[in-house]
Amino acid sequence: MATLALVNGKIVTVDERFSVAAAAAIDGDRVTATGTSADILARAGPGTAVVDLRGRTVIPGLIDNHNHFVRAIEHVEVRLEGVRSRADALAALRRGAAALAPGQWLLTLGGWHEEQWTGDRRELTLAELDAVAGGRPAFIQAQYDHAVVNTAWLDAAGAPAGAARTGRIGGGLVALNRAASGFPPPADREAAVRAVMAWYNRLGLTTVFDPGGVGVTEASYATLEAMAARGELTLRVLTTLGDGAGGRGAAHAADLAGRIRRARPFDGGPWYDRIAVGEIYYAAFHWDHQASPPAPSAADIEAAGEILGAAAGAGWPVQTHSVTTSGLDLVFDAYERADRHRPIRPLRWSVTHAEGITAGHLERARRLGITVQLRSQGVIRAGRAAPAPLRLLRDSGLSWGLGTDGTRAAQVSPFVTLGWAVTGRSLGGERTLDEPLTREEALIAHTRSNAYLMFRENDLGSVRPGMLADLLVLDRDYLTVPAAEIGDITPLATMVGGRVVHGSLASLLPCQHGNPVE
């Protein structure tokens, strides 16, 4: 007997045939059947809650294959995700500042850029932030491009050279992350985790892969791990063994290789698990990661190879941050050397971002069984970076999926990513993809494909018997709504493991058992 029956809907299962069913049965945390409403009602008993979907569309919970979730819990932020005008941004900051607890700073740490606005796209100014911040120090960061601060921030934090006059602070990932590390942390870290999970669940995210990153250490994950152990997560979080310090040198390589050999992947559970080494494991090897990098030396390449050899030997998946064609050349060379040590195909090693990937790389990737995590590069603005190579990957035969690279470099809404992939247009309306995907391709890339990249293809990514019941009931039909509206789709209910974590099924007018409303 099912605990829950969803009937009279349009359930886009994202199974191998992309089949659509009218109904699904859920028992506890798993889907037990899909089929016609009559099929599913036949499984209903006295203890079954029956929900009439009244034609609404259901899709699998969305999975972000590259989302720096843990950064979002380091500070309480007012976000400018998806805001479409200067006036709306200033209004959001004013509202956000007024709602902050006493002593909290007004912080926005990326995820947006002025170029996503229509109309006036000039950078925010010190005077504007003075006007909206209510006397609080304000630090409003646009992606990793620049930040604008106000007078109270300059008084509290001290002005970097040149900032006193303009309130503008220059960009760069390292400099802006270093600045953020000095801001006040949330008073209650668990409350911060709950708030960010609620935000993600509201957007339709049910699983994220958190790739660590510069400044992120194992201690950053302690709160999440403790909450997972108590069954308090509403978002599945998969993470990495990485290199938070951005280390370099033979001693660093030996240390990390030792940690890799001593640890085991996949020793967590369905809510929290460490599944890969990455995305940064040897600073100099990810040389397109920095603004003006020196190319890695022969010693650097050898040291990175030691880390990769340890990962192959100990059976660890590896995800490598790599963006440019020349950076990818080095990574494929190193992967081929590790593969001679021990075949890496079963470990699904991957390249992450990979905007500079070429047909030559794809051939090497096929031989090694390499997978690719793409990000919605170009969703916020056209920018100078290469667009995501969606069509190249789609036609490659490789396993690849879609993610965001939120929360600082990018926005985190999966529906905004899907809308961008289907229309090829940024939030501000510029064309940033020459050859967009079909809706079906984009949805597969944000669900089932990402489940495979995370070794969760038997649990996540589609609505079919045996899978965990992670799904979304949508306010609009993803498959038929005008393409320009895909980014605005909102889940009426988000379910993770059979439990409603956002919205409510009751709001969908549950019918009496055995008497569904047609």
Work out how close the CB of 185 gets to Zn ion at its nearest, in angstroms, rounded to a whole number: 23
Query: Which residue, 279 or 339, has its beta carbon nearer to Zn ion?
Result: 279
Residues 6+ apart with CB under 8 A from 198: 234, 501, 502
Of residues 111 through 140, those in contact with Zn ion by CB under 5 A are none
Of residues 238 through 267, those in contact with Zn ion by CB under 5 A are none
**Long-range contacts formed by 248-255: CB under 8 A, 24+ apart:** 248/282, 248/283, 248/284, 248/300, 248/303, 249/303, 250/299, 250/303, 252/282, 252/303, 253/282, 253/303, 253/304, 253/306, 253/307, 254/306
Residues 277, 313 contacting (CB under 8 angstroms): no
Place of tokens 């690719």: 372
Work out how close the CB of 319 gets to Zn ion at its nearest, in angstroms, rounded to a whole number: 9
Alpha helices in 250-355 (DSSP H): 250-262, 298-314, 325-341
Query: Which residue, 319 or 413, has its beta carbon nearer to Zn ion?
Result: 319
Query: Which residue, 321 or 361, has its beta carbon nearer to Zn ion?
Result: 321
Work out how close the CB of 68 gets to Zn ion at its nearest, in angstroms, rounded to a whole number: 9
Cα Rg of the chain (Å, integer):
23
Name the one range near Zn ion by CB under 5 A: 49-57, 155-163, 273-281, 355-363.
273-281
What single letter denotes the amino acid at residue 221? Answer: Y
Query: Which residue, 117 or 281, has its beta carbon nearer to Zn ion?
Result: 281
Name the one range near Zn ion by CB under 5 A: 27-35, 171-179, 274-282, 335-343.
274-282
- Could you count the other beta carbons within 10 Å of the beta carbon of residue 188? 12
10 belongs to the binding site for Zn ion (CB under 5 A)? no
Of residues 283 through 342, those in contact with Zn ion by CB under 5 A are 321
Spatial separation of the C-alpha atoms in residues 150 and 442, rounded to whole Å: 41
Name the one range near Zn ion by CB under 5 A: 164-172, 271-279, 427-435, 455-463.
271-279
Work out how close the CB of 286 gets to Zn ion at its nearest, in angstroms, rounded to a whole number: 8
Query: Which residue, 321 or 456, has its beta carbon nearer to Zn ion?
Result: 321
Residues 375, 354 contacting (CB under 8 angstroms): no
Work out how close the CB of 212 gets to Zn ion at its nearest, in angstroms, rounded to a whole number: 9
Query: Which residue, 303 or 410, has its beta carbon nearer to Zn ion?
Result: 410
Query: Which residue, 56 or 68, has its beta carbon nearer to Zn ion?
Result: 68
Work out how close the CB of 321 gets to Zn ion at its nearest, in angstroms, rounded to a whole number: 4
Residues 6+ apart with CB under 8 A from 370: 332, 335, 348, 349, 350, 351, 364, 398
Query: Which residue, 178 or 345, has its beta carbon nearer to Zn ion?
Result: 178
Mapping DSSP onto H, E and C, the string for 96-128 reads HHHHCCCCCCEEEECCCCHHHCCCCCCCCCHHH
Place of tokens 């650097």: 300
Spatial separation of the C-alpha atoms in residues 107 and 466, rounded to whole Å: 43
Work out how close the CB of 473 gets to Zn ion at its nearest, in angstroms, rounded to a whole number: 33
Work out how close the CB of 129 gets to Zn ion at its nearest, in angstroms, rounded to a whole number: 29
Rounded to an integer, what is the distance from CA 171 to the centroid of its chain?
22
What is the three-class DSSP state of 518? coil
Q: Look at phi and psi of residue 164 and say left if phi exceeds 0, alpha if psi is from -120 to 50, else beta.
A: alpha
Work out how close the CB of 254 gets to Zn ion at its nearest, in angstroms, rounded to a whole number: 24
Listed residue (283, 184, 195, 188) closest to 234, CA to CA: 195
Query: Which residue, 322 or 399, has its beta carbon nearer to Zn ion?
Result: 322
Listed residue (1, 2, 3, 6) closest to 463, CA to CA: 6
The number of residues that bind Zn ion (CB under 5 A) is 2
Query: Which residue, 65 or 423, has its beta carbon nearer to Zn ion?
Result: 65
Q: Which residue is nearest to Zn ion (CB)?
A: 321
Q: What are phi and psi of 417, to 5 degrees?
A: -60, -45
Query: Which residue, 146 or 321, has its beta carbon nearer to Zn ion?
Result: 321
Query: Which residue, 453 or 496, has its beta carbon nearer to Zn ion?
Result: 453
Name the one range near Zn ion by CB under 5 A: 166-174, 248-256, 272-280, 494-502.
272-280
Of residues 415 through 474, those in contact with Zn ion by CB under 5 A are none
Work out how close the CB of 414 gets to Zn ion at its nearest, in angstroms, rounded to a whole number: 18
Q: What is the x/- site pattern for Zn ion, positions 185-224, by CB under 5 A?
A: ----------------------------------------
Place of tokens 């020459």: 434
Work out how close the CB of 188 gets to Zn ion at its nearest, in angstroms, rounded to a whole number: 29
Listed residue (335, 328, 215) closest to 280, CA to CA: 215
Work out how close the CB of 353 gets to Zn ion at its nearest, in angstroms, rounded to a whole number: 6
What single letter denotes the amino acid at residue 469? Answer: A
Spatial separation of the C-alpha atoms in residues 494 and 483, rounded to whole Å: 22
Interface residues with Zn ion (CB under 5 A)?
A: 279, 321
